[in-house]
Amino acid sequence: AELERIAHEMSDPKLYEDFDRVQKAGEEMESVQAAIQLKEEEVRRLTPAA
């Protein structure tokens, strides 16, 4: 009975929508962090070592 309940919850489209949104947000965060890292490397390259 417990497994059936879990299976039913997992097939809930609302849950999938939320998961999808969370996953997309995570991917966006990753690309934002990658962009920040690129910028930091660029700044380091352009800044002469003191």
Do 9 and 15 form a contact (C-beta atoms < 8 A)?
Answer: yes
pLDDT > 70 in the chain, percent = 98
Do 11 and 17 form a contact (C-beta atoms < 8 A)?
Answer: no
Residue 39's alpha-carbon distances to 27, 33, 44, 46, in angstroms, are: 19, 10, 9, 11
Name the pLDDT band for 50 (thresholds 50, 70, 90): low
User: How many domains in the chain?
Assistant: 1
Report which residue type is found at 50.
A
| Domain enclosing residue 33, as ranges | 2-46
> Whole-prediction pTM value?
0.55
Name the pLDDT band for 42 (thresholds 50, 70, 90): very high
